[in-house]
Every structure is written in structure tokens, then in C-alpha cells.
Structure 1
């Protein structure tokens, strides 16, 4: 069965994968001062986006992709001969799009739609996309692919050190109210994804200690893990710190390979500039 893979613009996709003939991308809108920017289309340079974010007079927001545009994409894919589409999207804990898509999928007649809630974003989500495309290239069936995606999702972890909690708190994307108290007390929290939602993980007294704690979590995970994992450092316009953390981890864990990537405008709108995330997913 000819199968396409559709993801959204919050996924971090490597350059060598972007031109895969079976990969298609849906852009998610960001709204700054009433103006709509399509992620990956209108704003591609992250430094440019964070300058716009700083100048924004109103709380920036994001919106779900247009259902009409999504259905049009599926129609076009069917016309190209695709019989099935596997859709891997931003966590339902951040956006309601994938939940809506799952409920809509049975009623879409032109093509079989298999919607998958990544419960994450950025590099781990991009890893899910890459794994799916690789398995399709190797002629794996849909049950094998979904089993693999569920395995990756189950064992993926991401911890975030956020420079300013204001975006998450005001935008309603932080599910643990204790983090607000932490912000008032000038505590540097470590946040995490918990079943797709961003919640408080630990309260740390300083950025230095928060980074040291995050490094320690990666080291401990690597030592005890029985599977092979990919490790990621993901940043919101904070490349120097991300590269430094990559070097620190590679010094502490001989042989480890750490990939560095970025958080795009949509996720950056919620977590704010200078956020750095430590994440891992099964190979």
C-alpha cells in the first residue's frame, strides 16, 4: 500500500530527510500582534522570530492548522496514488490538533488516515518521523510501524530548563501550578513532558545547578538503559549553551552521540527564548 507520512512544522527534520518523496509537512500558525506567521514559511530564521517575539505587545498565541488545508492535502495525496497517510503530530498536551484529527480520521473517505499523537515535539518527534520513513522504505507493515512508534513514545523523555516561565504560565501550557510559586521565589525549575503535557519536575536554586542536574539525569539514564538511545540537546535561540552541554555530556559519557537541534517558533512561543531541553528516545 503506497503510504505517505505527514507531520507538522514543530518536528525537527534533518536536512537529508526534508526532501524524502513521501514526507509532507503541515505548517502551524503563530500569531504575533494580530499578524499570522506560518512556521517554516513566513519565519524560518529563529533569531528573527525571537526578535519579533521580544517586540510583541500582546501575548503571542498559536493556532491549529486549517482543517480545510489538511483535508485538501489528503485529497492531493490520494490523487497522487497514496492509499494511506501516517500522521505524526505535536503532543495533544500542547495542541488539540491531533486529538481532532484522530476523531475525524474514520470519516475521511479519500485516503486511510492513521493519526499518531507523539506526546512530544521537536527532535524526538522528528526521530519518530525518520523511523517511520525508514521502515516504510524497508517495506514494514503498518502494525510493525505503529508498534515501533509506541515503543519510542513510551521511552522518550524530555526535560526543559526555561529561562522565563512567563510564556508557559500565561499561555496555559504549564499544567502544574506549583511552578508559578517557583517563579515568584526565583527558583530555576526543571520541567518535563508527562503524558504529553508540560509539568514541573524539580525546583532548583540556580541555572548552574539545573544544568548539572539535567546532565546527571542523562548520565544515569545512559548507564542503566538496556536499549540503544538517541540523545538530544534542543534549544530556543541558545546555541552556545546547547553546544556547551553537548560537549559536557560527551566528556562525561565516552562514546555517546548527542545531536543538537532547535525549538521552532510554535514551541518557542510557549516556552520562551533561551530554553534548553535534554531529551532521549530509543533508536
Structure 2
């Protein structure tokens, strides 16, 4: 039986990928200048980054229960199984809301086989997991097999984040305002990662050259089996920097593929323009 896949806008995959693969789409919400928008639907990342450079402070919120329910009902009415791979519960309440909504839908459609997986991943870390799940769906795997494989895939997904201006993380409560002030003065670039679904600071370096060198070192220390894996790079209004990082990764590791895509509004509203993130699997 066909297994349908659902993902949200925090996976930072292009809308063309959702459309081409008929993946259900759940947008998170963004507010700017007192107006509410749906991420990647009624507002795009470029709009957010321009607003942030102009000093505005966008806010984000989880996907609405109504939006989630409407997507779930599409598949419930088909009577075919579906799996929703959700943005990390440590960074958004969307997963918890989806679980609540799923229980409501199952009261109306008790035979509907809906699985909800907390990816504990963000941006293309989640996006790569969606791509992995989609391959399994196309190959005809059962929903049990897909759920198990995706959970294992997510558990091995490494995230390495850095930001151009730590002040944006401070606004979102990710680091202290004092740290942001000092970091800005000294051109300090933080390296952060996602641990158990939450953003955690790892190191601080001065300048982009040292930053790139350290990222490559971390990939050597923690990655492997490069010829068989896809590396993801997401960026925020700094595609040239991402392309430079891509070149260094290809020269160092020769991975199967390196994919690039802009960070979306939901995550970019917290990390700010100039963010760079690298995603790969650990052994």
C-alpha cells in the first residue's frame, strides 16, 4: 500500500521538491510588522532577511492545529497510511500539536495509520531525512520500515551551525546578550550544533577562515562513508559563502552529493542573515 509522506517548512526543502514528490506540506507561522504569514507560502526567506537587516524583529510560531488537521485529513480520507516527519520538538511546539491533532483525526478515522516522528533535526538536517524517507516510500517499503529507518537516520544526523551576527541569536534567546555584544566586537564566530533536538553552543572562533578550517576538521572527526552520503548546506542570504564551503567540502571528502538551499523564514527569523549550516551523517 502507498505510504504518503508529510513534512513541514522547517525542513528547508524547495517547494518544487514537495510538489514533484507529492509530499504533504505544513507551513510554520511567521509574524512581521504585526501581520501573520505562512512560511514559504505567503512570505519568503528573502523578505525576512531584508527586514532583519533593516532592524526589524520577526517572530515565529508553530503550525496551527487547523493547518495540520487539514493536511492529515487529506490522507485519512484516502484510507492510506501516512508519516509526518516533524521539525525538532526541542525547537518548536509543532510536533506536540501534531500528536494532539492526530488523536482527534483518528477518532473520526480509527483505521487511519498515521505515524508522527520527532526528527529532533532542523533545516536541511530534517530535509535530508525527508529525502531519505521519500526514497523508501518510492521503493515500496512498509510504513513500519520507513518509520524505523527514518528514526535511525535522524539519530545520526549531525548539525553544525554558525552565524554571522550573534545578536540575532540573542534576540531569540539562544545565547546571552552579553555574549552577543562581546562576540560582535571581537568578530567571534560561534559554532553550534543540535543535541537532543536543541541548539547547543560548541566553540567560538575569530574570523571566517579559522571557522571554515574548524568545520572541516569537525567533519573529519565525526563523519565518514562520504562516497555514499549526501551533505546538506543551508544558508541565509549568503550563497557565495555557502558555495565556498561546498567547494572545500568536496575537495576534502568527495561526498556522493552536496545540496544547497536557503534557510527558510521559520529558522532564519532566529538565526539571522549570514547563517551557515552543514549537515551530514555520523557513523
TM-score after normalising by structure 1: 0.87
Aligned position for 1:91: 88
Aligned position for 1:153: 154
CA distance in 2, matches of 1:26, 1:239: 26
Kindly tell me: are residues 68 and 229 of structure 1, through their superposed partners in 2, closer, same or farther at Cα, counting changes over 3 Å?
A: same
Cα deviations by residue, 1:243-263 (Å, 9 ceiling, x for unpaired):
011111222234553222210
**Structure 1 residue 190 displacement after superposition:** 0.6
SS at match of 1:19: helix
Kindly tell me: are residues 235 and 256 of structure 1, through their superposed partners in 2, closer, same or farther at Cα, counting changes over 3 Å?
A: same
Aligned position for 2:71: 73
Aligned position for 1:47: 46
Q: Tell whether the 8 Å contact from 1:26 to 1:65 is kept in structure 2 after alignment.
A: yes
Q: Tell whether the 8 Å contact from 1:3 to 1:82 is kept in structure 2 after alignment.
A: no
Aligned position for 1:274: 274
Cα deviations by residue, 1:213-252 (Å, 9 ceiling, x for unpaired):
0122123334x55993321221111100100111112222
Cα deviations by residue, 1:83-104 (Å, 9 ceiling, x for unpaired):
3221112111210110232344
**Structure 1 residue 137 displacement after superposition:** 2.0
SS at match of 1:209: helix
Aligned position for 1:244: 244
Cα deviations by residue, 1:112-136 (Å, 9 ceiling, x for unpaired):
3211111112222122222222212
SS at match of 1:36: strand
Q: Tell whether the 8 Å contact from 2:69 to 2:101 is kept in structure 1 after alignment.
A: no
CA distance in 2, matches of 1:42, 1:104: 24
**Structure 1 residue 15 displacement after superposition:** 6.6
SS at match of 1:13: coil
Aligned position for 2:122: 121
Give structure 1 stretches of 5+ with no counterpart: none
CA distance in 2, matches of 1:143, 1:282: 23
Aligned position for 1:213: 214
Cα deviations by residue, 1:166-225 (Å, 9 ceiling, x for unpaired):
2222222x2x65x85365253321111111111101121333212210122123334x55
SS at match of 2:231: strand
Aligned position for 2:98: 101
Q: Tell whether the 8 Å contact from 2:128 to 2:232 is kept in structure 1 after alignment.
A: no
CA distance in 2, matches of 1:182, 1:31: 24
Aligned position for 2:179: 181
TM-score after normalising by structure 2: 0.87
**Structure 1 residue 272 displacement after superposition:** 0.5
Aligned position for 1:265: 265
CA distance in 2, matches of 1:15, 1:74: 19
